[in-house]
Amino acid sequence: MAQLMAQPITTDAALHPDHQALLGRMFEVALDSVSAELCLPAHLPPPASGRRLVLGIGKAGAAMVKVAMRDARPNTEAIILTRYGHSVDPTSMPPGVAVFEAGHPLPDERGVEAARHIVDAVSGLGEGDELLALISGGGSALLSLPVDGVSLAETQSLTRELLLCGASISQINCVRKHLSQVKGGRLAVMARPAKVMTLAFSDIPGDDPALIASGPTIADRTKLADARRVLDLYGIVASDNVRAALENPANEAPLPSSPALAGSTVKVVAHGGMALQAAGALAAAAGYKPVYLGHDLEGDATELGTVHAALALHHAHLGGRWALLSGGETTVQVNNPKGRGGRNTEYLLSLAFALNGAKGISAIACDTDGIDGTEDNAGATIDPSTLARAKRLGLCPIDALHSNMTYDLFDRLGDLIMTGPTRTNVNDFRVILVDNAVGADILKPRFLQ
């Protein structure tokens, strides 16, 4: 089971402690359902005839490699590239596993160093060898090796602008793939003539493996012109070097029809829908009727909160007990570059505004990797008393929302969810509970004890 922690939940006569308990348990069950321990073993290939190189790239990379190397043959090597703090205990790994931790969401020198090490290892594979790529979200920033003529500093600056402008993850990755030596299938090309198999944990709406970590082993369907259009759409003024790279035909990614990718296979083995189904089963056992709104929702976080409030109020009018479940990856309009918060806390505060203290409705929204935005929380919870409690503390929720300071507001309320690195990543997890409560003693999660 996932080990979770949270700040103490404030007690208040208007709170629904049973809702809080069930929401916490649903998040725990969701995380467990998409763990490497549960999702990966059935999909691992039989031992290779030659050498096998295992790459674990992304926030789930360390946990995935740990499972893959459990009964590995002596001719198996492994490299892990994950976010700082998202690795596993080195003593739990067999000897010879190389571990790199690097920057996220902005790439850094350590990521470039790791990418060069990975390129050298992959390029050394031969006939009869195998590359087993275990890919998960976060890899786009972590695996950073800019094309010739573009510096790391230019990549960092462009990434920062893309993150702040509200571009979707597919748009951001389109640009990143065309400025990289290793993304968009290029790593698989380097592995020739070795066999390439990719197993992925999806944090992408739609679960397109070509977009997960910018698809280092998956053919790309976008073009340089698509990347240029993204920059034009958001009015991003890129450096001369970046513009030149996006005009250079040499930086087109290999097509799906490329002979260099023939025989390469891919399978998504964990995604947000699995997490929602597991949580929905728990809700059903507790007497709530699950309603699945989709695990691939995109759009502005505050707008989605308003829409979901309307759905919650509609179900409250119908009577009965409901659990509205959703996932995906929303975007945030950044008004304050120094703000502290993330898309899940902005979604929740918008939801709270639109609900306006409606009785019997509580919610949770968290990122399954344990990090909402750039802070140390996975997300937070709201209940009918959220706005009233904020007012009593002298807080201004509308200012917090407009200035991207939602972390501080939920911190003061004591409603942040703190998990630490979960070592999985299937995007955001959201549940709105409507109407009656359930037995908190039976369902109370460890992080509320």
Tokens of 164: 């702040």
Q: Are 354 and 404 in contact (CB under 8 A)?
A: no
What's the chain's average pLDDT? 91
Q: Which of 169-178, 253-262, 303-312 has the lowest mean pLDDT?
A: 253-262
Predicted confidence (pLDDT) at residue 434 exceeds the cutoff of 50: yes
Q: Are strands 428-434 and 322-328 parallel, antiparallel or unpaired?
A: antiparallel
Q: Torsion over CA of 58, 86, 52 and 270, rounded to 10 degrees? A: -50
- Most confident range (mean pLDDT) of 13-22, 92-101, 232-241 is 232-241
Q: Which of 362, 355, 437, 439 is nearest to 397 (CA)?
A: 355
The pTM for the full model equals 0.90
Percent of the chain scoring above 90 in pLDDT: 80
Q: Are strands 379-382 and 361-367 parallel, antiparallel or unpaired?
A: antiparallel
Q: Are 409 and 308 in contact (CB under 8 A)?
A: no
**3-class secondary-structure state, position 270:** strand
Give the model's pLDDT for residue 175.
96
Lookup result for tokens 């929702």: 297
Tokens of 108: 């850094």
263-296 per-position pLDDT tens digit: 799 999 999 999 999 999 999 999 999 999 999 9
The DSSP-derived string for 387-440 is HHHHHHTT--HHHHHHTT-HHHHHHHHT-EEE----S----EEEEEEES----H
Predicted confidence (pLDDT) at residue 10 exceeds the cutoff of 70: no
Lookup result for tokens 């790279």: 245
157-204 per-position pLDDT tens digit: 999 999 888 888 889 999 999 999 999 999 999 999 999 999 999 999
Q: How far apart are CA 267 and CA 240, in angstroms?
A: 38
46-101 per-position pLDDT tens digit: 987 889 999 999 999 999 999 999 988 888 999 999 999 999 887 788 887 999 99
Is the Cα dihedral 201, 329, 379, 341 positive or negative? positive
Lookup result for tokens 């949270």: 6
Predicted confidence (pLDDT) at residue 15 exceeds the cutoff of 90: no
R_g of the chain computed on alpha carbons: 22
SS3 content of the chain, % helix, strand, coil (to 5): 40, 20, 40
Q: How far apart are CA 348 and CA 364, in angstroms?
A: 8
Q: Which of 440, 416, 410, 379 is nearest to 31 (CA)?
A: 379
Predicted confidence (pLDDT) at residue 335 exceeds the cutoff of 80: yes
Give the model's pLDDT for residue 401.
94
CA triple 322-270-311, angle to 5 deg: 25
User: Residue 16 — very low, low, confident or very high, per pLDDT cuts 50/70/90?
Assistant: low
Give the model's pLDDT for residue 236.
95
Give the model's pLDDT for residue 439.
36
**DSSP one-letter code for 180:** B
Taken in order of first residue, the domains within the chain and their CATH numbers are: 5-34+272-448 (3.40.1480.10), 36-145+180-219+254-270 (3.40.50.10180)
What's the average model confidence in pLDDT over 343-349? 97
219-235 per-position pLDDT tens digit: 999 999 999 999 999 99
Predicted confidence (pLDDT) at residue 9 exceeds the cutoff of 50: no
Percent of the chain scoring above 70 in pLDDT: 93
Give the model's pLDDT for residue 12.
36
Give the model's pLDDT for residue 437.
45
What's the average model confidence in pLDDT over 11-36? 81
Query: Please, what's the largest Cα pairwise distance for the chain?
Result: 69
User: Residue 17 — very low, low, confident or very high, per pLDDT cuts 50/70/90?
Assistant: low
